[in-house]
Structure 1
Amino acid sequence: MKEVGIALPKSRGVGVGVLAAFLLCFIFYYFYGGYMTLALFAGIILLIFYYAQDILLYHPDLPANSRIYIPIPTMHNLPHITVSIKTPDDVTLHAFWITQPEERSKSAPTLLYFHGNAGNMGHRMQNVWGIYHHLHCNVLMVEYRGYGLSTGVPTERGLVTDARAAIDYLHTRHDLDHSQLILFGRSLGGAVVVDVAADTVYGQKLMCAIVENTFSSIPEMAVELVHPAVKYIPNLLFKNKYHSISKIGKCAVPFLFISGLADNLVPPRMMRALYTKCGSEIKRLIEFPGGSHNDTWIVDGYYQAIGGFLAELQQQPLLKAPEKSNVWVELEHKIIDV
Structure 2
Amino acid sequence: MASDNYDEEKLLSSSTPPDMNPDFLVIRVVGRIVLSVIKQCWAMCSAMFISMCIFYWIFGGISAFLLLCFSAAGIVYHAGDKMLYHPDNPPNSRIFVPAPRILSLPFESVHFKSLDSTKLHGYLILQPQPLECPTVLFFHGNAGNIGHRLPNAKGLFKHLHANVFLVEYRGYGLSDGCPSESGLYKDAQAALNYLLLRQDIDHSRIIVFGRSLGGGVAVELAHKPSNSDKIACLVIENSFTSIPEMAKQLIPWKGIKYLPLWFHKNKFDSKKKVSGIRCPVIFISGLCDQLVPPSMMLDLYNHCGSERKYLMQIPNGDHNGTWTKPTYYSQLKSSIESIASGRHNLQQEPQHFSIHTV
TM-score of the two chains, using structure 2 as the length reference? 0.78
Question: For the residues of structure 2 that align with 1:145 and 1:55, how far apart are their CA atoms?
Answer: 14
Are 1:223 and 1:229, in contact at CA under 8 Å, matched by a contact in 2? no
- The alpha carbon displacement at 1:42 in A equals 2.0
Deviation, 1:39, is 3.3
Is 1:272 aligned to 2:290, yes or no? Answer: no
Q: 1:248 aligns with which of 247, 258, 274?
A: 274
Match of 1:181 in 2: 206
Change (3 A) 1:214 1:200: same
Against the structure 1 CA distance between its residues 117 and 90, is the aligned structure 2 distance closer, same or farther, given a 3 Å change threshold? Answer: same
Helix, strand or coil for the counterpart of 1:286? strand
Conserved 8 A contact 2:276-2:304: yes
Aligned AA for 1:106?
Answer: L
Whole-Å separation in 1 of the counterparts to 2:327 and 2:248: 33
- Aligned-residue identity in percent: 47
What letter is aligned with 1:45? A
Q: Of 76, 82, 85, which residue of structure 2 is paired with 1:49?
A: 76
How far 1:253 moved relative to its partner?
Answer: 0.6
Does 2:349 align with 1:334?
no
The reply on whether 1:111 has 2:129 as its aligned counterpart is no
Contact kept, 8 Å, 2:233 with 2:340, in 1: the verdict is: no
Question: Which residue of structure 2 lines up, in the alignment, with residue 233 of structure 1?
Answer: 259
Could you list the runs of 5+ residues in structure 1 that have no partner in the other structure? 1-28, 320-332
The answer for the alignment partner of 2:117 in structure 1 is: 90
Whole-angstrom distance in 1 between the partners of 2:338 and 2:60:
70
Query: Is 2:236 aligned against 1:218?
Result: no
Once the 2 structures are TM-superposed, how far is the Cα of residue 305 of structure 1 from its aligned partner? 1.1
The answer to whether the 8 Å contact 2:287/2:314 transfers is yes
Task: Report matched runs for 1:1-338 at 5 Å.
Answer: 34-101=61-128, 104-227=129-252, 228-316=254-342, 334=352
How many residue pairs match? The answer is: 290
Measured after TM superposition, the shift of residue 64 of structure 1 is: 0.4
- SS of the residue aligned with 1:112? strand
Query: CA 1:48–1:148 in 2, change beyond 3 Å: closer, same or farther?
Result: same
Conserved 8 A contact 2:236-2:284: yes
Partner Cα separation in structure 2 for residue 311 and residue 42 of structure 1: 53
Displacement after TM superposition at 1:36 (Å) = 4.3
8 Å Cα contact 1:164-1:202 kept in structure 2: no
When normalised by structure 1's length, the TM-score is 0.83
Amino acid at match of 1:231: K
SS in 1 for 2:197: coil
- The separation in 1 between residues aligned to 2:312 and 2:118, in whole angstroms, is 36
Query: Partner residue of 1:9?
Result: none
> Secondary structure of 2:262's partner?
helix
Partner Cα distance (1:153, 1:314) in 2: 36
Following TM superposition, the consecutive aligned residue runs of length 4 or more in structure 1 with deviations greater than 4 angstroms are 32-36
8 A Cα contact 1:60 1:67, kept in partner? yes
Instruction: Kindly report the root-mean-square deviation, in angstroms, between the aligned alpha carbons of the 2 structures.
Output: 1.9
Report the counterpart of residue 7 of structure 1 in structure 2.
none
Is this contact kept in 2: 1:217–1:241, CA < 8 A?
A: yes
Deviations 1:288-334 (A, max 9, x none): 111100000011111011110222245349x9xxxxxxxxxxxxx81
Q: Which amino acid aligns with 2:255?
A: A
Deviations 1:99-157 (A, max 9, x none): 000xx210100000000000001101100000000000001100000000101111111
Which entry has the higher C-alpha Rg, 1 or 2? 2
One-letter amino acid of the structure 2 residue matched with residue 222 of structure 1: A
Alignment check: 8 A CA contact 2:309 2:339 kept = no
| Whole-Å separation in 2 of the counterparts to 1:216 and 1:111 | 23
Partner deviation per Cα, 1:234-282 (whole Å, 9 max, x = no partner):
0010000001011110001100000111101000000000001100010
Structure 2: runs of 5 or more not aligned: 1-55, 346-350, 354-358
- For 2:134 and 2:233, the matched residues in 1 are separated by 10
Asked if the contact 2:232–2:340 (Cα under 8 Å) also holds between the matched residues in 1, the reply is no
SS state of the match for residue 204, structure 2?
coil
